[in-house]
Amino acid sequence: MSFNDIFKKSFIEGFTGTDISTSKIAATMLVTCILALYIFAMYRLVTRKTFYSKTFNIAIAIISIITSGIILAMQSNLVISLGMVGALSIVRFRTAIKDPLDLIFLFWSISIGIICGAGMYEIALFMSILVTIGLLGLDLIPVAKAPMILVVNCSDKSKEEAIIKTVKQYSKVFKIKSRNISNNHLDMVIEVRTKKESMLANDISNIEKIETVSLLSHDGEVTF
């Protein structure tokens, strides 16, 4: 048998495909479903309640199962593999990712589907354990405390110096984010870092002509 005959035979066999047993399909889908539910629970645990999206959480869990099914189908036949590549290449996803953490869970879900579909369950399990340790461990590391936002409304613009003087007593680092003056009325927004929030708010409220004082905390980006 010549080399050409061997090549033609192997090429034709690639188009005929290989049968995947029902037990393997069931085992793959079962492991994928378990890990998908684990990702679902982890996303709910790790994601902050303000940014939590139930629909996105359901989507990343189902993506694992769909991806696993696609990989199983691609293993069974070369023609299906080429067809899948052609079909998926024209798909465009334009959903904006609001939180960078969502991107991690999206790739995690797709990776679980691919790895489980290939039958490498141990890799999927160990990867999930490492990702969990990374998410929980790095989230506990204190990076920096987010500054607080002080909002002051005053009916006398000449009291700005007294407000700044009081802020300096409780915060070594502060920054005036906004200053609005209208008909002798002063509105100020100041970014402060202090551990004595209540004392700062009380002292500013005791200044003459102060109408309202608000001290707000946020979970946004931390500036250094």
State the pLDDT at residue 143: 62
CA 197 to chain centroid: 30
Topology of 148-216 in CATH? Alpha-Beta Plaits (3.30.70)
Give me the residue spans of the domains in the chain. 3-140, 148-216
Q: Which amino acid is at 23?
A: S
Chain segment 39-68, per-residue pLDDT in tens? 999 998 888 655 678 888 899 999 999 888
Beta bridge partners, 93, equal none
pTM of the prediction? 0.61
Category of 174 on φ-ψ map: left (φ > 0), alpha (ψ -120 to 50) or beta: beta
Instruction: Render 189-200 in DSSP notation, one character per residue.
Output: EEEE--S-HHHH
Instruction: Count CB atoms within 10 A of the CB of residue 168.
Output: 11
Among candidates 41, 21, 29, which has minimal Cα distance to 124?
A: 29
Residues of the chain with confidence (pLDDT) below 50: 3, 6-7, 11-12, 14-15, 224
Among candidates 100, 96, 194, 97, which has minimal Cα distance to 139?
A: 100
State the pLDDT at residue 35: 94
Sheet holding 148-154, edge to edge: 174-182, 185-192, 148-154, 210-216
**Secondary structure E strands in 161-209:** 174-182, 185-192
CA distances from 122 to 1, 49, 153 (A): 41, 32, 60
Among candidates 203, 100, 206, 189, which has minimal Cα distance to 150?
A: 189
141 SS3 class: coil
State the pLDDT at residue 9: 52
State the pLDDT at residue 170: 80
